[in-house]
Amino acid sequence: MSDNKQTQGVRTVWWEEDASGAAVCLLDQSLLPQQVVYLRLKHEQEVADAIKSLKVRGAPAIGVTAAFGLALSLCRLMREKDGALSLATAQQHVHAVGALLGQTRPTAVNLFWAIERMLLCADVAIENHCSLQDLAQLLRAEAHSIADEDFAACMAMGVYGAELIADGDMLLTHCNAGALATAGWGTALAPMYVAHKAGKHIHVFVDETRPVFQGARLTAWELQQEGIPLTLITDNMVGHFMQRGGIKAVFVGADRVAANGDVANKIGTYGVAVLAHAHQIPFYVAAPTSTIDLNIPSGEHIPIEQRNPEEVTSVRGMMIAPVGVEAANPAFDVTPHAYVTAIITERGIVRPPYREGLRRGCLDVRNHSNLGSRLNSNGDRSSANRRSTREESPG
C-alpha cells in the first residue's frame, strides 16, 4: 500500500480499505488554510467531483487520484454485485469510469496518462484471462505503483533541483506545486524542501495566484508547515520585487509540457516568466516525465481549461465585482520554451534544446507498469505488488 510520508503534516491522497469497503482519501484543499478536513470517497462520481471542484488539484495528484478512483470503482461494483460480475462487464465499467474521470480537467496530462495506464492494465489482464479478483488486485497495485512512483519522482526532482539553489538564495514561486499537488514532496517546492533540509538558508516569495489563491492558501501554508521563511505578495508585485533585485531564481510546476519544451501551468505563469526573462532571472520548471506530452508538438496545441467566471467575480462566496459583469477565467496559460531556463525531471535537469532532451528523458520511463512481468502466460498475477525500480535511485 502507498503510505509514503509526504512533508510534515501534509498528506494529499491515499487509499484505505476496511470492512466497510475501499475508499479514496483526500485532504480537501478547497477549505485550506482555515480548515483541515479529510474526505473519504467511496464512489467514482465523488472522485470525479473532487477533481473538478479542486478539492484535489495539481497535475500529479490528479493523476494519482484518478488511478485510485478507477481501482475504487471496480471494488465498489464487485461489492455491490457480490462477485456476480463478468470480466466483460468489468472491462466496460472501468472504461466508462475512465471516460468520466477524463472529463474533469482537460489540461493536466497526468490525468489522461494515469487513466490510460490503468485501462491498459485492465485490458492486458483481461486478455490474459485473469480472474475478477486478480483484476481488482492488479488495478489496486497499479494505482499504488503510480502513487509510489510519483513520490520517488518528487524526491528525485528535489535532489536535482536543490543543486540550483545556493545558501542565502531568495526564490519565487507561482501557484502551488508542493506536497499538496503530488503524492510526494511536490515538484517546484521539492528542491526548496531538500535545500532547506540540507541546511541552506532560503527565503521564498509566494505570489497569491488569483483567482483561486493557491499561492496564498496552499503554498504559504505548506512552507509554514516546513518552517521555511516566506513573503506572500500579490500577483502584481512580482515585477516590483524582481526589479529591486535579490530574487535569484523562479521555480514553478507544470500541468503539461509539450515536446518542444513549451509549458502549460497555472494562469499567470507566462507573465512571471516574461518578467524573469526581462530581469535575467533563471526560470525553472519542475515536472515529472508523466507531465511531458511528446504527442503535443508545441504549446499552442495544449487544451486550456476554462473555469466558472464566478471564481473571478467572487471570493469565498462574496461578490467583488458588479453584478452581471463579464469575466474570463482560463485556468492555465502557456509559457514558450524560450523563457524556460531548464526543466527539472526525475531523470535529471534538461536544458535547451528541449525536444531531444525531453524525448531521451521519457524513453526509459514510459513503460511504467511493466504489465508483461506482472502476468504469466496463464494470466495469473505473478508480481502485482512490484514497485518501480525508479524508487531505488533518483537518477
C-alpha dihedral sign at 31, 37, 42, 47? positive
Q: Are residues 318 and 181 located together in one domain of the fold? A: yes
Distances 100 to 9, 49, 65, 93, 94 between C-alpha atoms, Å? 31, 10, 13, 11, 10
Listed in sequence order, the residues at least 6 apart from 380 whose beta carbon sits closer than 8 Å to its beta carbon are 130, 134
| Residue of 148, 169, 235, 255 marked catalytic | 255
Q: Are residues 234 and 145 located together in one domain of the fold? A: no
Closest CA to 188 of 343, 393, 395, 3: 343
Judged by DSSP in three states, 128 sits in coil
Distance (Å, rounded) from C-alpha 374 to C-alpha 145?
12
Is 18 an annotated catalytic residue? Answer: no
Q: Are residues 345 and 372 located together in one domain of the fold? A: no
Q: Are residues 140 and 174 located together in one domain of the fold? A: no
Residue 7 lies in a domain: no
Q: Are residues 376 and 252 located together in one domain of the fold? A: no
Residue 230 sits in which domain range?
158-363
Q: Are residues 221 and 299 located together in one domain of the fold? A: yes
Residue 2 lies in a domain: no
Residue 350 lies in a domain: yes
Distance (Å, rounded) from C-alpha 288 to C-alpha 306?
24
- Residue 94 CB-half CA count within 13 A: 34
Q: Are residues 92 and 177 located together in one domain of the fold? A: no
Q: Are residues 166 and 253 located together in one domain of the fold? A: yes
Residue 238 lies in a domain: yes
Q: Are residues 228 and 338 located together in one domain of the fold? A: yes
Residue 6 lies in a domain: no
CATH number reported for the structural domain that contains residue 337 in this entry: 3.40.50.10470
Quote the pTM value.
0.88
Q: Are residues 372 and 350 located together in one domain of the fold? A: no
Tell me how many domains the chain contains.
2
CATH number reported for the structural domain that contains residue 68 in this entry: 1.20.120.420
Residue 25 lies in a domain: yes
Closest CA to 28 of 5, 3, 7, 46: 46
Q: What is the pLDDT along the chain (395 residues), one digit of tens a residue?
A: 444 445 555 789 999 999 889 999 999 999 999 999 999 999 999 999 999 999 999 999 999 999 999 999 999 999 998 868 899 999 999 999 999 999 999 999 999 999 999 999 999 999 999 999 999 999 999 999 999 999 999 999 999 999 999 999 999 999 999 999 999 999 999 999 999 999 999 999 999 999 999 999 999 999 999 999 999 999 999 999 999 999 999 999 999 999 999 999 999 999 999 999 999 999 999 999 999 999 999 999 999 999 999 999 999 889 999 999 999 999 999 999 999 999 999 999 999 999 999 999 887 555 443 433 333 333 333 333 323 322 332 22
Q: List % helix, strand, coil for the chain (3-state, nearest 5).
A: 45, 20, 40
Distance (Å, rounded) from C-alpha 163 to C-alpha 151?
19
Q: Are residues 251 and 373 located together in one domain of the fold? A: no
Residue 20 lies in a domain: yes
Listed in sequence order, the residues at least 6 apart from 149 whose beta carbon sits closer than 8 Å to its beta carbon are 368, 387, 388, 390, 391
Residue 353 lies in a domain: yes
Q: Are residues 53 and 19 located together in one domain of the fold? A: yes
What dihedral do alpha carbons 212, 201, 348, 139 form, nearest 10°? -50
Q: What is the CA radius of gyration of the chain?
A: 21
Distance (Å, rounded) from C-alpha 49 to C-alpha 70?
14
Distance (Å, rounded) from C-alpha 204 to C-alpha 161?
15
β-strands 203-207, 230-233: how paired? parallel
Q: Contact 344/354 with Cβ under 8 angstroms?
A: no
